[in-house]
Homo-oligomer: A and B are copies of this chain.
Amino acid sequence: MAKVDTSLVAHLPLFAGMTPEALDEILREARSARYPKNSAMQGADAQCFFLLLHGHVRAAKTTPAGEQIVVRYVTPGETFGLAMAIGAARYPATAMAVDDSVVLIWPTSAWPRLVERFPALAANTLQTVGTRLQESHTRILEMSTQQVEQRIAHALLRLAKQSGKKLDHGIEIDFPISRQDIAQMTGTTLHTVSRILSGWESQGLVESGRQRIILREPHKIVVLAERSADSGAA
């Protein structure tokens, strides 16, 4: 269990307002682990919670019938698997590394003690969860009021903002993502996603391939995203 360099994580929102000593004490309870690309990261029982240091993780929720939606993509610096903080004994979603990933892991059992000793942990986590709640509401709003094309545009712009790699001309989404994944983020089918991306590609808005998407004209995609349902006249 190699010691984690505190300076790497001190600036994260989770640890806002903490003394170096406190941080040190918290990190002493964690271990780190590496997950290879495409490996599952958790069982059904919520025995651990995670902080992603490197890589990308996909959190997905599954229906009884086996259909999936992508809850979110976790980027470095973010926590996930916080079931216990919200009083759940089982994870409501499954996590999978979409890239080779490195995480810090705490046992769920440590959470109550840590919160007691460092109340800022609860306050900081509340802030994070609150932000996610608002994002969820935004997503519900989009699904209720926008056409598929607008939803896909918004989803890609969000991914680009969150995990975009600036290129000479455009922004590349920095991890492998398929048409199917985008469909599961926007409530549609991979076929429709494929058709729309093909359309955009022929207009030069994007460039894409197998699990790879580059936004070539982000600004034009913003315009698309904001176009309301009935303002689409050419």
Partner of A143, one of B122, B144, B184: B144
Known A126-B122, A129-B133, A133-B133: A140·B141 in contact at CB below 8 Å: no
Q: How many copies does the complex hold?
A: 2
Query: How many residues of A sit at the interface, in one of the four size bands?
Result: 35 or more
Residues of B contacting A87 with CB < 8 Å? Answer: 127, 130-131
Q: Are A140 and B187 in contact (CB under 8 A)?
A: yes
Q: Tell me which residues from 120 to 156 in chain A have a Cβ below 8 Å from any Cβ of chain B.
A: 122-123, 125-127, 129-134, 136-141, 143-145
A51-76, CB under 8 A of B: which get 1 and which 0?
Answer: 00000000001010101010100000
Chain B residues with CB below 8 A from A82, complex form: 130
Chain A residues near B (Cβ < 8 Å): 61, 63, 65, 67, 69, 71, 82, 85-88, 92-93, 115-116, 119, 122-123, 125-127, 129-134, 136-141, 143-145, 184, 187, 228
